[in-house]
Chains A and B, each alone.
Chain A
């Protein structure tokens, strides 16, 4: 184990150190809690740090580790959870303090899987209200006057600020990949149906995905290996075997990937700095041995962007209908407008939007299968000001077709904020996508961390 501060340890390294007896879970959890005490006044990522529960669990895991009983690959490692996931004994407030304050008796399915793998649930992380677009209180660890993105604001910021090595988030349109890009961490949105959504407050049922924040592809893959699996209680869960991620976790692939470089309609929507960044990254990867070819997306992709917005508003309006009827005036402005406009959408156009996403998925499949990954920007540029959570356009299509995608931090913008790239893969081909991502990460990854002067 290196001499680095414990709160900076990577998830997989920390898990290995605990398994081998070189590190105690209590020491690691205490280090993360001290880090939260030191920097969360500035970042405001945490709704609740469950000090008592986390230390009690860590102590139990240490006892078990000393007895040679290892629960799973995350034994003793702390993980944070976005506050729309149910965690038994902790309030689910969903960024809506006045509305949702129930204390669940059961964990969300994904949280239960984390615990079964030995993870320590460190606490709940801020979200935008009901995972819509009204900004959360959380600040970007790289710059206090920039958004961390959303809706998974606290999850991205906590991992970036080294308060916890990994966190759960959710993505309906762009709520994992975009905040990961803005905060300079790895974001993974697996295939729709790969991770159970049971116990996660819905925003739009047919678009909602559970996602992962970590500081490396290896760590994200390790968490996915724990979370993936069929859940008959989730109607969107798919009954296929979990992905085989052992080789991705074990080592950087030797073989350079075959990458498709996406241009229209996203290139022209990106800021000049982001366009130049992605082109430079593509050229660098090609120079290191990757096969990089320009690709053309199906003509229906622009219509898919609109279809995702129609589906989002329609389904959110349906889910919130009863609560809205009782307490419309208490919603924050953007989600209230989203619910109200969603109520005005004619059913035939909602169904047309659902037909579009299915057609694009069918048309994208050959393209996705021809490459290890497709490459494009994860956002229009670096994080914008905190009156917004940023534009999810660059992530929306891949939520729409349910394809897996990864956001990787690669470089800094002129203003010192992280820039990244987005890689997407074929549905249920996470091992292939993550292998490509790990090769890209090893070739051109960002090693910078948020400036400590911003965090204290």
Chain B
């Protein structure tokens, strides 16, 4: 099937196979902060808090975005 020709966009994120479809920004922020603490320590994680909050909101929007099942990653956007 040609790319984008006859796909059906899933509106029910729970069934789309998307990673963490219903996760809120708050849950992402908590998970990101825990990962930052593990990698960089408490002090650095605290300094990163504004960036982690922005990133959490971005991750929540990405997770919730409805996509056709057969959309593959873009990577190098060659001749499409």
Contact = CB atoms under 8 A, between A and B. Distances in A.
Q: Do these two chains really belong together in a complex?
A: yes
A352 B18 contact: yes
Interface string A296-318: 00001011011101100100000
A303 B32 CA distance: 19
Given A193-B77, A340-B36, A359 B68 contact: yes
Given A306-B61, A341-B51, A363-B4, A356 B19 contact: no
Contacts of B44: 340
A28 B58 CA distance: 48
Interface residues of A, number: 44
A341 B59 contact: no
A42 interface: no
A310 B59 contact: yes
B74 A352 contact: no
A271 B5 CA distance: 38
A351 B72 CA distance: 9
Interface in B1-35: 3-4, 18-20, 32, 35
Nearest to A366: B4
Contacts of A355: 67, 71-74
A309 B18 contact: no
Contact of B3 (A192, A344, A362): A362
A274 to B, nearest CB: 23
A267 to B, nearest CB: 20
A362 B4 contact: yes
Contact of B65 (A236, A341, A356, A402): A356
Interface of A: 192-193, 206, 235-236, 238-240, 300, 302-303, 305-307, 309-310, 313, 337-338, 340-341, 343-346, 348-349, 351-359, 361-363, 365, 401-402, 427-428
Closest 7 CB pairs of A and B: A354-B73, A348-B19, A358-B74, A303-B65, A306-B58, A362-B4, A306-B61
